[in-house]
Amino acid sequence: MTTILVTGGAGFIGSHTVIELVKAGYEPIIFDNFSNAKPAVLARIHKICGKRVPCCFGDIRVRQQLETVFKENKIDGVIHFAGLKAVGESVKKPLEYYDNNVNGSRVLLEVMRDYKCSNFIFSSSATVYGEPDKVPLTEDSPVKRANSPYGQTKIDIEYMAEELQRAIPEFSVTLLRYFNPVGAHESGLIGEDPRGIPNNLMPYLTQVAVGKLPILNIFGNDYPTKDGTCIRDYIHVVDLALGHVAAIKHCLNQGGVHIYNLGTGIGYSVLDMVNAFSKAIGRELPHQFAPRRAGDVVQCYADPSKAARELNWKAVRTLEDMTRDSYNWQKNNPNGYDD
Ligand code: WQD
């Protein structure tokens, strides 16, 4: 059996990945401080995959809490999701982001090194590319100084892991750069449950659709794109989760550094998303144009061919799947896991 520690495994992408790990025959162990997740997700995971997934409450910054897990289990690899991820919040609280994300990752890598666990798969982000010079983005596109502390922590953690691998050649580092994760498990039992008012487009759309929010503000319609709104590569969270399973299958114990863009390769504008969502709910979703949001890039979408070639992985779920599953989750859980 291959045991995989999933830090932040109770979160949105983490919980979906845990389910796909179980389905693929791996033994995941969740490690989470529940600062941005609800314990109710554990029962939902159990219901979906038919088994209880062990969960250790803990904070990656607290070495002793991590060591307990490594002492009590033979951990073959770690998928590292745990971290703060709100772009706007990171601008207001840069030190908290450096402490949680970079310092926490440092402690995790130290414990992995000391317990000879040499497979590190990191939840990185397309945000490391900053404002792209050209699209689609490949893994060789330049990594730029990020336009938020959140994005910079992703760059710093990538660099820290690469340097550790350089120091310990048998260490295997896989950096998965996500584009825009959306959607939910088809059961409607797990999904995105942001704290407070959502920053991201899709959870905002779903909350407007269920009447929790009155109207969507579209941040800018004067960008140099087909309809003036920003373009992103939205990827279904289940496709993303399967990308992690593919990465484990192909990278475990291989040594070296492996970098993959996990996106669909298709760019959709904000208006495309609003129209797709209106179609999914069978009525016009209330929306209005508002000023641009600081820090937004005009367009960002992936060239996912390297993951297809090397991981034998490709996103297959469509925009209709993403909108349907996002809405299904929100309809069944108007207050997220608090229901
Ligand atoms: C998408 C588009 C907005 C909300 C961020 C992070 C990235 C990752 C995903 C964590 C943009 C527009 C949004 C709204 C809007 N985060 N929008 N009205 O900014 O591409 O990426 O989330 O892993 O690292 O940077 O995603 O969903 O916030 O925005 O018009 O109420 O939707 O302007 O064009 P983004 P997003």
Distance 65 CA to ligand 1 centre (A): 33
- Tell whether ligand 1 has an atom less than 6 A from the beta carbon of residue 127: yes
CA pair distance 67, 324, nearest whole angstrom: 41
Which atom of ligand 1 is found nearest the CA of 292?
A: 33
Region of 112 on the Ramachandran plot (φ > 0 left; ψ -120 to 50 alpha; else beta): alpha
Pocket test for ligand 1, best of 180, 218, 233, 264 (most atoms within 8 A of CB): 180
Is 153 in contact with 127 (CB distance < 8 Å)?
Answer: no
CA pair distance 126, 154, nearest whole angstrom: 9
- Tell whether ligand 1 has an atom less than 6 A from the beta carbon of residue 218: yes
Report, as ranges of residue numbers, the positions in the chain whose pLDDT lies below 50.
Answer: none
Distance 73 CA to ligand 1 centre (A): 38
E-only strand ranges, the chain:
3-7, 27-32, 55-57, 77-80, 119-125, 172-178, 180-182, 216-219, 231-232, 234-236, 256-262, 268-269, 287-290, 299-300
The contacts of residue 64 (CB under 8 Å, 6+ apart) are none
- Tell whether ligand 1 has an atom less than 6 A from the beta carbon of residue 317: no
- Tell whether ligand 1 has an atom less than 6 A from the beta carbon of residue 44: no
Interhelix angle 12-23/237-251, rounded to 10 degrees, is 60
CA 125 to each of CA 210, 312, 323: distance values in angstroms, whole numbers, following the listed order: 29, 20, 22
pLDDT, residue 339, reads 66
- Tell whether ligand 1 has an atom less than 6 A from the beta carbon of residue 296: yes
| Triad 50, 175, 237: Cα angle to 5° | 40
Which atom of ligand 1 is found nearest the CA of 270?
A: 32
The torsion defined by the Cα of 121, 232, 209 and 91, in degrees rounded to 10, comes to: 70
- Tell whether ligand 1 has an atom less than 6 A from the beta carbon of residue 217: yes
CA 115 to each of CA 76, 99, 122, 178, 251: distance values in angstroms, whole numbers, following the listed order: 10, 23, 18, 28, 19
- Tell whether ligand 1 has an atom less than 6 A from the beta carbon of residue 200: yes
Going by alpha carbons, the residue nearest to atom 17 of ligand 1 is: 201
| pLDDT per position as a tens digit, 154-191 | 999 999 999 999 999 999 999 999 999 999 999 999 99
* Residues assigned a catalytic role: 150
pLDDT, residue 145, reads 87
Distance 209 CA to ligand 1 centre (A): 18
Which atom of ligand 1 is found nearest the CA of 181?
A: 9
CA pair distance 219, 199, nearest whole angstrom: 11
